Structure 1
Amino acid sequence: MQPDTSVQRVLIYRLGSLGDTTVALPCFHLIERAYPNSRRILLTNFPVHAKAPASAAVLGESGLVHGYMRYTIGTRSPSELLRLAGEIRRFAPDVLVYLMPVRSAKAARRDRWFFRLAGGVKRIVGVPAEEELVRIQDQATGMFQAEAVRLGRTVRVLGDAAPERLENWSLRLTAAEKDAARFALGELADRPLIVCGPGTKMQAKDWGQENWRALLTKLAVGYPGFGLALIGAKEDAEISEYVARDWPGPKVNLCGRLSPRETAAVFEGANVFLGPDSGPMHLAACAGVPCVIAFSARGLPGVWYPAGLQHRVIYHKVNCFGCNLETCIVEGRKCLTSITVEEMAEAVAAVLDPKLVVLRD
């Protein structure tokens, strides 16, 4: 498709968190290429009591979008729907690009109806046909199509999102964001670097602080020339401090000290990222950093894996895989508790450049 320079206003509909926004990056780049002269506004959910959506922490000053419009998830309030319809009509988009997760055919039809009738949108791109509202599985490997690939397929009328190309994952970090990361790392900025983000808000994704501590203790012996950076939200600072307690070399706990985009800049100097299925995992993948992930089987294998072929995802396909539970009590998180420290350490060895490893006598 040739870029359409006549389109002046594009509304993009994508809800979700840091990870949901990050996996849509190839589509955001595609939309910019398709409509280079347009003003692009993202209709998305805002966290409770927040003045900006989670997506703003990912997209920042990249220029991929120029502003945000608030959507209240699950709202059935007539006044809220009227407010949203009025805001859409005032923006008067030439095109709406629909980048929503897999949902029911009924929900997709309802969305189309709302945007056409209530919002006055004439052209809608990306609402999947009913047969596309399923996850595609590769029968040979058992893997399911990655979310980034699925999203690109829904908007293929605009062109090729090409999620296999690293440049389509670019966050366009600013010089100030890169400087903030380098300052925070201090002396670690010039060392081989392991970055670990052990924290997670979801019990079903938690590999366990004792496992993370044992893994880092083991890696400290094998990789004495490396520094260690701990990343995550402010709430992750305590667990990060605990898991790194036995690391004898230089280390820094950056939890709560950096924005997501500044954290992404930290990854640009990293040799490997260790963590659970998380938003930071996707940020690391955007930088091309190999990720070693203790991945919960709550989701289908492949859908939310980090983009790229350089990673090692440890996913145990137990009988209850795909449960989508946020809290696992009955099965005791057996998909995660069956992942051993040795498995993770072997995966780290598989992705690290041997030339960087300093062996002890």
Structure 2
Amino acid sequence: MNSFFKQFCPTDTYTRIPVSPKLLTFSFFGRPSNNLGELKNISPKKILVMRYMGMGDTVLLSPFIKKIKGMYPNSEITFVTKPSVVNLYETCPYLSKIIGYEHNGSIGSVLRFAKKLRSEKYDLAFFVRFGASPWYANLLIFLSGAPFRVTYTEKVDDLKSVMQKDYDCFYTHLIPGDKKEVKHEIWRGLDILNYFKKDSAEENYTPRLELWTTKQDELFIKKLRSENGLTDGKTVVLGVGASTKKRTWPKERWEDLVGRLSNEYPDHKFVIIGDKNDVEIGNYLTERFARTCISLCGLLSLRQTYCLLKYAKLYIGNNSGPLHIASAASVPCIEISCHPLSGDLENSCSPARFGAWGVPSIALRPELPMEPKCAKGCIENFPHCICLVSSEKVLFAANHFLNREGASLQ
């Protein structure tokens, strides 16, 4: 059973806190009240928000941040996240402070940072995550000392109930959720607020992703576009990286796709983006297709990536953070997904939960898993089921978005 759960979760998420949550919580505060009615009339001066996950999850949090600022316009809101994604929210107008916390694997690290949080005297704290999450992030919310601490109950799915048994004790108020109702992760965040402070005027509200830049970011990208001949309507951005290997389309497929695109669209530029781990494939594709291909892997900040994407005609990439940055930039998206059509809709790779949002898009997925063991979702730690998505299929979808005559996704 343990090996099964490890296939779906990073090590730091799977590892349980080495102290009983029940013992900790009863020692400090006693049993949680979970009276959601208490939350409807509070007027917090300081609010702590945490979603200690990756780039994509952080982008998807922007509607939550905007809404909570609208609910409590006079409150100071602090967002705690990973240092690697702080750049995305440094210029967010809805936040008073953003803090990057790097967990080093020790309880001491958690306690030292918790002391800093506790000194801020937060009145209300949210952990915005439906599924399983790192133990230390949950513990930090508890140790922040906020008298009201809100999240989804550990009972929302089977995986979370095993991995985070008794973590409900860290919170004073729990959102029940509905594990039978599949929702995009954006709605899962907003439902936390809707549950105890429903606004009837927003019943037809459609959330929109937001990101924010500086003048320096915009000028940097303006210069970069000029130097590399990136013109409006002729730029396609390719996101070749991903946080896990199973989500990464193989280099050979990218090579075939870029070759085909270069032949069919010789007047376009194909810009490769990714982090330092993607430099090798970016350089390889640039060497193979020097006339049409440019690699910016490891060269852009997250905000600069967003600035660049605002000028793109199309984004093609794996199920990873840049997909959501492209959505925020209002760019049509083609997602190359490892999640088979037969897969569990609640899987962390499912487009139903983590797909492109608010833009024309298509998720290209394997019709069947590579092996029966991947029927609910790819469980390997290398490119596996995603290899069943052909470059021909991606090219066909690209032709549709690039307005090739006669192309159709139907």
Range of TM-score over shorter length: 0.7 to 0.9
Structure 1 residues 155, 97: CA separation in 2 closer, same or farther (over 3 Å shift)?
Answer: same
Q: Report the Cα distance in structure 2 between the residues aligned to 1:202 and 1:81, rounded to whole angstroms.
A: 26
Give the 5 Å matches for 1:276-287. 276-287=318-329
TM alignment of 1:80-159, pairs within 5 A: 80-103=109-132, 111=138, 115=141, 118-128=143-153, 130-131=155-156, 132=176, 135-137=179-181, 144-156=182-194, 157-158=196-197
Other-structure match for 1:50: none
Aligned pairs for 1:206-355 (under 5 A) are 206-247=248-289, 249-297=291-339, 299-316=349-366, 317-318=368-369, 319=372, 320-323=374-377, 325=379, 327-328=381-382, 333=384, 335-353=385-403
- Is residue 185 of structure 1 aligned with residue 239 of structure 2? no
Distance 1:327 1:283, change over 3 A: same
> 3-state DSSP class of the match of 1:196?
strand
- Taking the aligned partners of 2:319 and 2:203, their CA distance within structure 1 comes to 23
Contact 1:199 1:239 in 2 (8 A): no
Given that 1:237 and 1:256 are in contact with CA atoms closer than 8 Å, whether structure 2 keeps it comes out as: yes
Structure-1 residue corresponding to 2:32: none
Secondary structure, counterpart of 1:103 in structure 2: coil
Q: Describe the SS at the equivalent of 1:195.
A: strand
Task: Give the SS at the match of 2:230.
Answer: helix
Q: Deviation string for 1:222-252 (max 9, x for gaps)? A: 2222122111113312202323444464442
* CA-CA distance at 1:43 after TM superposition: 2.6
Give the secondary structure class of the aligned counterpart of 1:10: strand
Say if 1:73 and 1:287 are closer, same or farther in 2 by CA, change over 3 A. same
Give distance in 2, aligned partners of 1:32 and 1:312.
Answer: 32
Aligned alpha-carbon RMSD (Å): 3.3
Report if the CA contact (8 A) 1:295-1:315 is conserved. Answer: yes
Q: 1:72 to 1:183 in 2, by over 3 A?
A: closer
Deviations 1:76-130 (A, max 9, x none): 62x44443443232111121122124139xx79x948x756x4331223444484
Answering whether residue 78 of structure 2 is matched by residue 41 of structure 1, we say yes
How many residue pairs get matched? 330
User: Residues 51-66 of structure 1: matches in 2 within 5 Å?
Assistant: 53-66=83-96
Q: What secondary structure, in the 3-state scheme, does the structure 2 residue paired with 1:155 have?
A: helix
Residues 311 and 59 of structure 1: is their aligned pair in 2 closer, same or farther, counting only changes over 3 Å? same
Q: Does 1:169 align with 2:209?
A: yes
Cα shift at 1:27: 0.7
CA distance in 2, matches of 1:35, 1:236: 41
Looking at structure 2, the residues matched to 236 and 251 of structure 1 have their Cα atoms a distance apart, in angstroms, of 15
Aligned residue for 2:277, secondary structure, equals helix
- Say yes or no: does 1:12 pair with 2:52: no
Q: 1:250 to 1:164 in 2, by over 3 A?
A: farther
Amino acid at match of 1:56: V
Distance 1:136 1:308 in 2: 24
Q: Which has the larger displacement, 305-314 or 65-74?
A: 65-74
Q: For residue 178 of structure 1, what is the amino acid of its counterpart? A: E
User: Aligned equivalents of 2:333 and 2:315: distance in 1?
Assistant: 5
* 1:24 corresponds to 2:54: no
Change (3 A) 1:14 1:324: farther
**What's the % identity of the aligned pairs?**
22
Secondary structure of the structure 2 residue equivalent to 1:313:
strand
TM-score, normalised relative to structure 1: 0.79
Structure 2, unpaired ranges of 5+: 1-39, 157-175, 340-347
